[in-house]
Amino acid sequence: MATATTEPARAVRGAMTPLPYRVVRKRRENHDNWTLELEPVDEAIEPIGPGQFTMLYAFGVGEVPISTSGDLERDGTTLVHTIRAVGAVTNALCAAGAGDILGVRGPFGNTWPVDAACGRDLVVVGGGVGLPPLRPIVYHALRHRADFERVVVLYGGRTPDDLLFRRELDRWRGRLDGNVDVTVDAAGRDWTGKVGVVTKLIPQAAFDPETAVCYVVGPEIMMRFTARALIDRGVTPDRIWISMERTMRCGVGLCGHCQLGPTLICRDGPVYRLDELAPLLEVPEL
């Protein structure tokens, strides 16, 4: 269920009122993704948790939901969002430069249950732009490495040019206490890594399916096949968590755009345990 930590501030200003944030840093991740770091001009939103999202507003254009992708224990009031430029609003957000002002509402939604993996193997599976919402979990696990057994990051992209955080993936891979495996759907001759969908990484991944807790984000079809591969490996559905993405307009469960059967993604999600959501995912019309 959604966290209650955001309610006091919302009661004062209203959940639909954006707060001004200034772009302080901008980094291009690949050909169509940028990471923006935002700091409050005055009042800050409530602290954001791993898996939660904000509604980012480009003044005069519109707003979109974007998950946090930062190191939440380091960032303080700074918001970090990795954004893919695919439409009018996201193009406007990605075009913003240092000093520009954007609007922020939130945080909205629930968080990844990171504590559920304490003392167990932690497995993160990301597809394409699904890695940014998982990045806070990896930061947390590496910062509190003794709290977990094995930490496994499996990541797949369409091509090498579509991969995100490539230098960071190399740093994570360079640690002796973690396992990082990357694959792409298609690549040229200059690619020396693995080729194939991310689900092909699961059978050989170094984790214990009897205890592992898994967090998955990516296109919906990728999450379905990933969940199936994890279950085939021996992970039970109650230890698999996924983050859903549907069209969200309000962030507070009023407009109904993100409805999935009886649940509203912005209000009840976006993070769901697989065994609770699986019946809905089996209905094509939803």
* pLDDT (tens digit per residue) in 91-122: 999 999 999 999 999 999 999 999 999 999 99
Is it the case that residue 260 has pLDDT exceeding 80? Answer: yes
- pLDDT at site 249: 84
Q: Residue 124 falls within a domain, yes or no? A: yes
CA distance 240 to 226: 10
Q: Are residues 104 and 121 in the same domain?
A: no
Q: Which residues contact 38 (CB under 8 A, 6 or more apart)?
A: 21, 22, 23, 24, 78, 79, 80, 81, 102, 104
Instruction: Name the band, by pLDDT with cuts 50, 70 and 90, for residue 285.
Output: low
DSSP string computed for 118-177: TTS-EEEEEEGGGHHHHHHHHHHHHHTGGG-S-EEEEEEESSGGG-S-HHHHHHHHH-TT
Q: How far is CA 104 from CA 6, 63, 93, 101, in A?
A: 13, 9, 12, 10
Q: Are residues 149 and 103 in the same domain?
A: no
Q: How far is CA 103 from the centre of its chain?
A: 20
Q: What is the pTM of this model?
A: 0.92
Is it the case that residue 171 has pLDDT exceeding 60? Answer: yes
Q: What is the mean pLDDT of the chain?
A: 92
Lowest mean pLDDT among 71-80, 139-148, 242-251: 242-251
- For 272-283, write each residue's pLDDT tens digit: 999 999 888 777
Q: Are residues 70 and 41 in the same domain?
A: yes
Q: Are residues 154 and 236 in the same domain?
A: yes
- pLDDT at site 245: 84
* Domain hosting residue 18, numbered range: 7-108
Q: Look at the chain and report how many structural domains it folds into.
A: 2
- pLDDT at site 283: 73
Q: Are residues 167 and 202 in the same domain?
A: yes
- pLDDT at site 1: 39
Q: What is the CATH number of the domain that holds 93?
A: 2.40.30.10
Q: Residue 262 falls within a domain, yes or no? A: no
Q: Are residues 145 and 219 in the same domain?
A: yes
Is it the case that residue 5 has pLDDT exceeding 90? Answer: no
Could you tell me the two tokens for 155?
Answer: 């990541």
Instruction: Name the band, by pLDDT with cuts 50, 70 and 90, for residue 140.
Output: very high
Q: What is the CATH number of the domain that holds 125?
A: 3.40.50.80
Q: Which residues contact 219 (CB under 8 A, 6 or more apart)?
A: 127, 128, 130
Is it the case that residue 7 has pLDDT exceeding 60? Answer: no
Q: Are residues 29 and 103 in the same domain?
A: yes
